[in-house]
Structure 1
Amino acid sequence: MKINIIGGSGFIGTRLSNILIGKNLPFTIIDKVVGFSFPERTRKADIRSLEDLRRSIDRDAVLINLAAEHRDDVSPPSLYDAVNVQGARNLCEIATETAVKKIIFTSSVAVYGFAPLGTDEAGAILPFNDYGRTKWEAEEIYKRWQSEDPKNRTLVIIRPTVVFGERNRGNVFNLLRQIALGKFVMVGDGFNRKSMAYVENVAAFLEHSLVFKPGIHIYNYSDKPDFTMNSLITHVNNLLGRPSKIKFRLPFFLGLLVGSGFDLVAKFTGKKFPISAIRVKKFCSNSVYESSIKTTGFIPPVSLIEAIERTVNFEFIEGNKNDQVFYSE
């Protein structure tokens, strides 16, 4: 089995590569960036370029597509369509040329938008931003590719919730850093619940899905149990040796006003800030998802509570300052 990991130099791809090495599975990373961890296994290519892909993808390989534009503040916004949608078209065209029979695609729970509690894979598709919209459009492109030869082609679509872990510099890290610095202010009442996904578990499920048979397989991914923001902050404070009580709380409407103010400054200065209106909305919303992953026999290798402890210890207690980091949402 030959495995091509498109966008494999990033956060999830690096963890997945380590798992594949541990199981002696051959793989090649195809990415526009040659990463720090596996330069000798990387072919430089941009998913927006058919010619790049044509030169890079192996015949009859399993394709795992992790490439995406995913931040809240992508500029210009047309990059969402160029990478997520046109990239999917390009990948399917080359897959057909090279007799590829299996594609594993990391989508996102963003396709559901602000979803009702407990949304599973049958949930209504109501994306509220370009990221969620373009992930859904990409899913539809991959489904059309699979439908052209349904008895022989396998499509796996994985929709993770927010992915966190050591070395990531996304929203979860920013939250943990604010707590570690003693600068955290709770916005809202903190009773909203959040589904989270530890990077090691997501990567393990990607590897698990390599054996899936022809057909379309769609799974949400989140690790359980779901924390309320209050319980998450309290646990992190305890890990850091801080008082567990949350001292400062800001009403939601004031937090949204502050976020909108940062948006206005960003618009005129071009500077990006860790606070924005959409991030305040996401922080204060419920995002709890259910999944049928258990039906596949998959068991996450790391519990969620251990994953949080690993991340806090690595980033804020052990003092790992010089390690490679990955920037994402």
Structure 2
Amino acid sequence: MPSPTQAIIFGGSGFIGTHLMNRLIASGKYDRVVAVDIAKPRTLIAGVEYVHHDVRKPVDPKLAHGAPANIFNLAAIHTTPGHPDGEYYYTNVLGAVNVCRFAMETDSRTITFTSSISIYGPSETPLDEDSQPAPVSAYGRSKLSAEAIHRLWQSDDTARRLTIVRPAVIYGLYEHGNFTRLSRLLERRAFVYPGRTDTIKSCGYVKDLVSSMLFMAARNDGIAIYNFCYEHRYTISEICSAFSQAAGYKKPMLTIPVWFMNFAVLPFEILHKVGIKTGINRDRIHKLWFSTNILPKRLVASGFRFDYDVASSLDEWKRDSRIKDFD
């Protein structure tokens, strides 16, 4: 069966989807690249067809124009904390069902699904793909359930190929997430270490992530599940130092006990309960304190080579930013 000449990216308007579609367009491999999303694009990409649709609702097979597609399922509610538990399941699990049904109805035989290292839960001990999943959040549990749904789709036909990537913290242009918030705090000299400086935060640059997705999907003959992050398990202090080197920020020096930070954020949590959102809460403090110590064992064993490390990727991200550092 010839390779599909169209790619359909659910959740394509987001951070990772934007970089993925840039790569797909640049490859010249596809006659049609479609982004399906309910959100506005982070930036418009020439040659991409944008379709407004909520994956919580069934996807009309006519979207595929009567031909199979290479499908990328990036659609998710992922900000955590930030949503009631039920919303993670409603979007991430039901979305998986609808995307897999669409693939079946259009005879599309390849899906690449972005899961998360949240399926493992926090750990000081290194974890790889053979480690037992132990999610502690609704987001992690919903992603693990979505993996099972995609695996069920693949098991119905030996000709189907499924690639599941479990990314760690991903950063880069258009991110607007954890690393962007950290850069803003460092720029204002407002970041303090919550209880320790050696918290491991497995992470990876978005361009390396996209490269890994295409690499693993191309060599996959059935099902491939892999972690994505750098081999070196960067600590929070190493990440802060890399930001300081890339942008000239002063390195943070202060470490405050977690118990004191938990006490200090209580007024902000009270404000949140009355409708004033600040994004400051104990869950975010705990995320900074607990390690995510992940190994990309299968990716490295496959022969994949990273193009960047944290230092070189932050340098590039800053060069590519237009409005301010690391936008």
**In structure 2, distance between residues paired with 1:221 and 1:324:** 22
- Please state whether the residue corresponding to 2:293 is helix, strand or coil: coil
CA distance in 1, matches of 2:152, 2:218: 21
Q: Distance in 2 between matches of 1:190 and 1:86?
A: 39
Q: Find the partner of 1:30 among 4, 11, 36.
A: 36
Q: In the superposition, relative to structure 1, how do residues 53 and 254 fare at CA in structure 2: closer, same or farther (>3 Å)?
A: farther
TM-score (norm 2): 0.89
- Structure 1 match to 2:288: 283
Question: For the residues of structure 1 that align with 2:326 and 2:258, how far apart are their CA atoms?
Answer: 35
Identity %: 28
* Residue equivalent to 1:97: 105
- In the alignment, is the contact (CA less than 8 A) between 2:168 and 2:228 conserved in 1? yes
CA distance in 1, matches of 2:177, 2:103: 31
Match for 2:168: what amino acid?
A: T
Give 2:159's aligned amino acid: N
Determine the structure 1 residue equivalent to 2:7: 3
Q: CA offset at residue 311 of structure 1? A: 3.0
Which sits farther off after the overlay, 287-296 or 132-141?
Answer: 287-296
- 1:243-291 CA deviation, whole Å, 9 max, x = no partner? 44x33221111122334442332122x2322322111111111112112
Pairing of 1:1-329 with structure 2 (within 5 A)? 1=4, 2-26=6-30, 27-35=33-41, 36-38=43-45, 40-50=48-58, 52-57=59-64, 59-149=67-157, 151-244=158-251, 246-268=252-274, 270-291=275-296, 292-314=298-320, 320-321=322-323
* Rounded Cα–Cα distance in structure 2 between residues aligned with 1:309 and 1:274: 27
The one-letter amino acid paired with 1:10 is G
**Stretch deviating more after TM superposition (100-109 or 86-95):** 86-95
Indicate the larger mover: 115-124 or 62-71. 115-124
Contact in 2 for aligned 1:61/1:102 (Cα 8 Å): yes
Q: Secondary structure at the match of 1:193?
A: coil
C-alpha distance in 2 between matches for 1:75 and 1:213: 35
1:134 partner amino acid = S
Structure with higher RCO (Cα < 8 A, 6+ apart): 1
Cα 1:7–1:114 change in 2 (3 A) is same
Compared with structure 1, are the counterparts of its residues 37 and 242 closer, same or farther at alpha carbon in structure 2 (3 Å cutoff)? closer
Instruction: Give the gaps of 5 or more residues in structure 1.
Output: none
Residue segments in structure 2 that go unaligned for 5+ positions in a row: none
TM-score of the aligned structures, taking structure 1 as reference length? 0.89
Contact conserved, 2:163 with 2:220, CA < 8 A, in 1?
A: no
8 Å contact 1:160–1:220 — kept in the other structure? yes
Structure 1 Cα separation of the partners of residues 254 and 75 of structure 2: 38
RMSD: 2.2
2:317·2:326 contact (CA, 8 Å) conserved in 1?
no
Q: Distance in 2 between matches of 1:18 and 1:309?
A: 20
Query: What count of residue pairs does the alignment treat as equivalent?
Result: 317
